[in-house]
Structure 1
């Protein structure tokens, strides 16, 4: 279970939470421009845009969870179990395995508009990376500073949704998630007025009552509503520190604490990490469940002309600053 969001002040920000009951050993990975991408059903791509994001590296291949390229295009894959459906390779289509979908888009598209052109010829295939890493059931969010879309490969075929709220969680399909916002149109960051009855003298007795009815559980539909409400009403300054801080607060509204979502055998789903990338500058920020201090990696400080992956293991363990 996960939540992804976009946010824009002076710069454009893209990020997500990864909620799961264990880690695959992910790390921040920069793919430089001359790293050779070997796709299952396409030619090797030896020259492309540089990419930074969170990935599990298997056999020197970056399996990206979320990433942003040097042109400011971001993409993330989120669980979509039970609804995702992929197909065998089809002649005349761009056949792309799900594990290579994020790099396939980001290494060659600078904007959502360019991504749409690629998606028109796309067929997401049922190829797994290997026997130990089977096909993941996902849907994806793609965004730049101008627009956001959602891609879902389902039984009926591939669906591409415009995403006016800039948020994605998990099930149900995105169209249903968006529709359910109609049930919450009465929510407001302002103090509520009495619409119950003119015959009753009703009044607010606490701050924040305009948001009464905002769902607080950990289900994906509830997290979607909560993240959209928080993001759409969010206010911050334009500085980098203010923008990044506010982005983490937005996703903090849906993070999961150990013990609140049991998945069996004494295991609990938690927010393994939260990311925020300044897509304009290529700076990737993250926190982990065990480390609340924000860590940053600037892709522009690395050799983006290289041909080897640049990897940064996550900083784990709580970083507490003693003040006395």
Structure 2
């Protein structure tokens, strides 16, 4: 298992701080935090990743914004659970509008609880992209060196990965079928960065 930096990247991103979300076919999700040694792995019942430090602590802070289900707090959510809260937002704070990693995590979790559940993969992708619109960090060299280098979503039933880099307007669609998983060579996918 290898994690790559931007040494061989066509576009250099300078201060690259990527966190990785890994999902298996059952919907179990973990977050891989490579910033520091040893790397840390967290159970991730949210199914959301930002580069927030101390992920476990941030999960605890979600209580200020969501009325969390007891199964969430006890780490006993059933597979493919779409919602982690009761759906009641009475008396809860509205997530901050900042672009800090924690602010984006809280906002994504909050909106994920409120968004209509999709009836199809196309609707789910649309939901994901609209939600990601609210947490995508714009490039601002004078303010901070980091921005949303890319965004992605995955569909477990079709084994499809959707990816869009910062400069693209259309996500690329990659099917992660058995043939693709058996490929022993590196395959590169290009992102169309032009406006259509």
1:166 and 2:47 are equivalent in the alignment: yes
TM-score calculated relative to the size of structure 1: 0.43
Contact 2:168–2:191 under 8 Å retained in 1: no
Structure 2 regions of 5+ residues with no counterpart?
Answer: 68-84
Higher radius of gyration, 1 or 2? 1
For residues 110-129 of structure 1, the C-alpha deviation after alignment (integer angstroms, 9 at most, x for no partner) is xxxxxxxxxxxxxxxxxx99
RMSD: 4.1
CA distance in 1, matches of 2:37, 2:191: 39
Give the TM-score normalised by structure 2. 0.65
- Correspondent of 1:311 among 177, 185, 188: 188
CA distance in 2, matches of 1:271, 1:153: 17
**TM alignment of 1:68-87, pairs within 5 A:** none
- The aligned residue for residue 213 of structure 1 is 94
Q: Is the 8 A contact 2:66 2:88 kept in 1?
A: no
Q: Which protein is richer in strand relative to its size?
A: 1
Is there any run of 5+ residues in structure 1 with no aligned partner, and where?
Answer: 1-95, 103-127, 196-210, 320-324
Residue 236 of structure 1, CA deviation:
3.0
The answer to whether the Cα contact below 8 Å between 1:244 and 1:276 also exists between their aligned partners in 2 is yes
Asked if the contact 2:159–2:177 (Cα under 8 Å) also holds between the matched residues in 1, the reply is: yes
Number of aligned residues: 174
Cα deviation per residue 1:193-248 (whole Å; 9 max; x = unaligned)?
Answer: xx7xxxxxxxxxxxxxxx76321000011111011111233323321211111111
- In structure 1, what is the equivalent of residue 22 of structure 2? 142
* 1:278 alignment partner in structure 2: 155
Partner Cα separation in structure 1 for residue 181 and residue 37 of structure 2: 40
The Cα shift of 1:272 comes to 3.1
Superposed, 1:122-141 pairs within 5 Å as 140-141=20-21
- Matched with 1:42 is none
The 1:290–1:161 alpha-carbon spacing in structure 2 relative to 1, beyond 3 Å, is closer
- Structure 2 CA distance for partners of 1:147 and 1:283, relative to 1, 3 Å: closer
The answer to whether the 8 Å contact 1:290/1:318 transfers is: no
Secondary structure of the structure 1 residue equivalent to 2:111: helix
One of 159, 175, 178 as aligned partner of 1:298: 175
Question: 2:117 matched to 1:240?
Answer: no
Aligned pair in 2 of structure 1 residues 184, 282: CA closer, same or farther (>3 Å)?
closer
Distance in 2 of aligned mates of 1:177 and 1:139: 15
- The separation in 2 between residues aligned to 1:157 and 1:309, in whole angstroms, is 26
The Cα shift of 1:282 comes to: 3.0
Distance change in 2, residues 1:301/1:166 (3 Å):
closer
Q: Using a 3 Å threshold, how does the CA distance of structure 1 residues 269 and 243 change in structure 2: closer, same or farther? A: same
Q: Is the partner of 1:311 in helix, strand or coil?
A: coil
Contact 1:165 1:232 in 2 (8 A): no
